[in-house]
Amino acid sequence: MIDYRIRENKGYFENMGVLVSMLEHSRAVTLQDISNLSQSDLDYLPEGSSNTIGALLLHIASIEFVHQIITFENRDINDQERSKWGTALELGDKARDEIKGLSLDYYLDVISTTREMTLSLLASKDDNWLFEEKKWDNGIPYNHYWMWFHVMEDEINHRGQIRAIKRHLINNR
C-alpha cells in the first residue's frame, strides 16, 4: 500500500529524510503502474513513440546511477559505466534495438538495486551536504538537493510516458 504522507525517515537527517520520503513515494507509484506488465507490454512501441516502457524503466535507473556518481563521487561516468548505462541513458534508436525481450523482474531488479544504493549513500550524508553548492562547467550553480529532486522529477516525467503507452496498449488490444 502506498503511503501518501511526506515525512522524515529514521536513519536520515531531517531534510534528507523528507527527500527520501518523496523519492520513495514516487517509486511506489511507478511500481504500482508497472505491476503485472508482461514482457510484450514492456516491449510495446506505439506508432510515433520513441521509447518502450522497458527502455524508460532502464532510463530511470540510469539517471539515478549517474546522479550517484556526480553527487557522491564528484565526477562524470567513465567509459566502463557508459558502456553499461549509455544506451538506457540516451534512449533513441539504439535503445529501441537493444532494450527488449526482458522480463518485468529484470527491470524491477535493476531499479531496486540502483535505489538501494541511493538510499545507502544518502544515509551517509547530512542535511548540509544537500545544500552544498557546485557549479556546472558553464558556471551555473546547483546543489545536491536539486540533483536528487531532478532524479525524482525525471522519474515522474517518464512515468507519464509509461501511462500514455499503457493507455495506447489497452486501446489497441
Q: Provide the β-strand partners of residue 134.
A: 142
In a domain, 52, yes or no: yes
| Domain at 72, CATH number | 1.20.120.450
Is 164 a member of any domain? Answer: yes
Closest CA to 96 of 105, 86, 107, 87: 87
Q: Is residue 8 part of a domain?
A: no
Q: Is residue 4 part of a domain?
A: no
Read off the pLDDT of residues 92-151 as tens digits, 9 standing for 90 and up.
Answer: 999 999 999 999 999 999 999 999 999 999 999 999 999 999 998 899 999 999 999 999
Residue 31, domain member (yes or no): yes
Provide the residue range defining the domain that includes 34: 14-171
134-168 burial code (b ≥16 CB/10 A, e <16): eeeeeeeeeebbebbeebbebbeebbeebeebbee
The better pLDDT of the pair 119, 169 is held by 119
Domain contains 138: yes
Task: Write the pLDDT tens digit of every residue in 53-100.
Answer: 999 999 999 999 999 999 999 999 999 999 999 999 999 999 999 999
- What is the number of domains present in the chain? 1
Classify residue 139: in a domain, yes or no: yes
Separation of alpha carbons 7 and 49, rounded Å? 37
- For the cut 80, the answer to whether the pLDDT of residue 48 exceeds it is no
- Can you give the pLDDT at residue 69? 97
Q: Determine the pLDDT at residue 25.
A: 95
Residue 89 C-alpha from the chain's centroid:
10
Residue 56 lies in a domain: yes
pLDDT digits (tens, 9 = 90+) for 13-45: 999 999 999 999 999 999 999 999 999 999 999
